Chains A and B, each alone.
Chain A
Amino acid sequence: MKQFKKLIIYTLCTATLVQISGCKKFLDRKPTDVLLDEQVWSDPKLAVSVLANIYNRLQPTGGLEGGKLSPTDLEEAMWSGGLGANNARNTRVNYPYTDKQLWSYDLIRDVNLFLENLDKSTAMQDADRKHLLAEGRFIRAYIYFLHVRSMGGVPLVTNTFQYDGSPDVEGLKVPRSTEAGVYDFIASELDAIKDQLPLTVTSKTRANKWTVLALKSQAMLYAASIAKYNSLMTDPIVLPGAEVGIPASRALEYYQKSLDASKEIIDSKQFALYNENPDKAQNFYDLFTKKTNNREVIWAQDYTLDGKYHDYTVESIPRSLRENATGSAGVTPSLNLVEAFDYLDGTNGSLKIQTPNASDYVYYTRPEDVFLGKDNRMFGSIITPGSSFRGKRIDIQAGVMEWNTATNQYVVRTSPDLGSVFADGGILVAADGPLPNAANVTNTGFYMRKYVDSRVGSGQSGQGSDIWWIRYRFGGILLNATEAAFELGRTAEALGYVNQVRERAGFPANSLQTLTNDIIRKEFQVELAFEEHRYWDLKRWRIAHEVYNGNRQSPNTLINALWPYRVVRPSDPTKHNKYVFVKRVAPRFTQPRLFRLGNYYSSVPQNVINANSLIVRNPYH
């Protein structure tokens, strides 16, 4: 027994000794899974990968990943997917003040760290470093633009802070800058780096001179319209320190800067409207899905099937085409948007579904005939009843209208089953719906086409789609130029820009002869639908609270649906087996949109206000 005890003691001692002495080498090993600061900043390739990480974090509210439901914040689409949490998008009483809130100072710090470390780095060639520094500053300017459009003036932090442990943190507190100050910062940064970036379009996904100008065109237009239209409000939205609100006197200056930037892009001839397909509708769809030789795209967030893909198609593909056991029909376009697209002959886009005195329906031989002559961009953006996708016809039919000869009235026959058949052997409810309260079937009678992938396989959740998200494109720049030129009183010039955009959509040359704000705003709405523009446009024009005024009798507070029905009326061969359309409020959409004055600027997070006494709250919060 004694011997056994000794043995244990010896073993323990040896083990301890071995551990103590062996530690040194073990802890001194270079880590194999972490890169150290000095390693990163001495290798241009590694520095670029830091930048890639930052590029990947630039989509807080829109895009094809986390923000892919953003069209359902507007009158352009609603949620027709699962009945879970996302259904709250159809039933919200008002937009919360935290909506579109952004306070990404972790991201800003990472960019500032990148700039500071790169500046100190000696291992890099001077030209490389200059290029990367300018690229970092472009990204920082873009991030500040994302902040200022959500929050108004935010603290301008252009260096990193190190906390040294002292109780005095006053030096770390930065107050909010004025809203104009942030826009001015963006403009001056962009002017400074414009010529340090590549002049030719080598990449559609990284910064170059033209992405800089595109951002400037957009940011200056936002600043200009806030300056002009905020002061025209009944109660202009301002804070005493001008953290929100831009003086009206600065509007012209900003419009001019925006127009100058747009014109530099237009005059460079580096870009052109995508016009490769004589089928104008297909052409407009291809603009978003074809990556090669696409001269319209200025800056995009790219995806690849080698590991970086998105599930936008899984979520929003038509029900009958879905390749996944769940999902589909998530974001479905509204009739409001469909009717915003004009007819190619220039007439108003509302659909002719009733006779002028509203006594009877208008009967169409094929459901697609009701859309004849509409703007081709509508067919390129939206799957309408009877159009085709992935080579398959998409049938959308809510039921059958059976004529009752006794009462001289139609009786609506429906079924809860997709693809059901009526007593006469014809279709009752089509394979793609619509159904009133089912998940993953369109509720509006339309499906999304823009950005939905036509490649088979892209609807599987394990695979997904590699369609890129276009942040800036030439069509948008032409519209920016239109608005700025019109605001500066140069209507003829403005008409030249907007008519190019319309001609590509199939309108005849010089289709517009006069311009008004409403015409320009409608053009923004239809050309840039689902591209995450309209929310911000309504905000900067200061009409969001009038468009979404919470009154369910206003035209665009509720999501309207268009439900096609087949007529069964053998007694009248001119109407039998024809199609009629019923306009109704989408059944799953219950609450009118209400945009309060406090939604023009999202609330500053409470923990930010608690931590920094210099931060002021946004108005109405």
Chain B
Amino acid sequence: MAIQTQGLRKEYGNKVAVRNLALCVPRGSIFGFLGPNGAGKSTSIKMLLGLVSPTSGEAFVLGKPAGDVETRRKIGFLPEHFRFYDWLTPAELLRLHGRLCGMPAARLRERIPEMLDLVGLTPHKDKRIRAFSKGMMQRIGLAQALIHEPEIVFLDEPTSGLDPMGRRLVRDVIRTQNKWGATVFLNSHLLSEVEITCDNVAFLKDGEVVASKELRAMGTEEEVHVTAHVRNLSDEAISALAPWATGASLEGEYLTASARSGDGLPEILRHLVRSGADVYSFTAEKASLEDLFMRIMGEDRGL
């Protein structure tokens, strides 16, 4: 396991930031950590990185207790509220972070131009960071997190403040790192980004993991929304959909239902036709991560 926690808890005075965090992140996976504001995501990441001490519980990163100094050599981190020494140029900042990671000077000389190129900052390499836009800051932050070729990368809101090109770049970088075998721990509010990037997700609510999903399996095995344009559909035929779908209801000529899995779709269509209904259209959409998120968190939870 890349990350394993048990009963991890953090209290700040009377406030419980993280209640009972139990996580298992497999090595080599892209893991999405989701939850509304104040759910305890950043505190959890800080505990995994050793920036914050847990009140109780255990956390292991790459098999060593969280915060272990030597293990940090294999960890990259892009903080949510990234602030760097803005009086440096991007190349100088990367050199500083590389040196702090113990990288030899010769390797750094090769690696710095590579990283600047990767995040698209080569044309700005001589500018001071204080002149950078938020998106450029995010890019240099990503480069400093990856300069030492870490085995696990923690990215706290890596796409906030980025334009669509920047988001795509982050997505590509995440995939490339993952292809090389790195584990990526992604904390993001942009569920569509998470959906297309991550292998697994965990939903955090009030400091606890309330659900976890394997996103790659969200195909035929996951719930699917069905909408059908039908005429002459009897109430009995609607009730008889129960073995394959839940929440079936007819409004005018439109039937909506939630199929338990993609495998049940042919059965539903067959049943409708056999019951004597005239089917004019039949559409099926798998539940998006956002639907799942809203259902788990409740509609009243703002992001």
A and B from one complex: no
